[in-house]
A = this chain, B = another copy of it.
């Protein structure tokens, strides 16, 4: 996962293993921070429901959590294009086509969700 970091140029395998470090400043750590904030947002929404908060306020928080998830998705996609698709583009034929189709399908799911 390399979102937000400088985009390495196709020198990683698609699971990106060698880039993973425990350090806060890595893209993986950043992504985990963002997901943990979203988890907290969803828990906060549940608390609002338990406390019978006003629907519109709850909806505002749901929209905020959705946008945060969308940002995570765009970051993942960005890093995927910069790695797996770039790698695939250097091969030819069937593998390249399969990777491009897979990326297009993921984009379509995202646009439609």
Query: Which A residues are closer than 8 A to B by beta carbons?
Result: 1, 7, 9-10, 14-17, 20, 28, 31-32, 35-36, 38-39, 42-43, 45-46, 49-50, 52-56, 58-60, 62-63, 65-67, 69-70, 72-74, 76-86, 89-90, 92-93, 96-97, 100, 102-104, 106-113
B74 in contact with A104 (CB, 8 Å): yes
- Give the distance in Å from the alpha carbon of A80 to the alpha carbon of B58 in the complex: 11
Q: Which residues of B contact A83 (CB under 8 A)?
A: 55
- Give the distance in Å from the alpha carbon of A1 to the alpha carbon of B78 in the complex: 23
**From DSSP, what is the main secondary structure of chain A's interface residues?**
helix
27 A–B contacts from the bound complex (CB under 8 Å): A1-B52, A1-B58, A7-B100, A9-B92, A10-B89, A14-B54, A16-B52, A38-B42, A39-B43, A39-B46, A42-B42, A59-B73, A59-B76, A59-B77, A59-B106, A60-B109, A62-B76, A63-B109, A63-B110, A66-B69, A70-B111, A77-B107, A81-B85, A82-B100, A89-B90, A107-B107, A107-B110
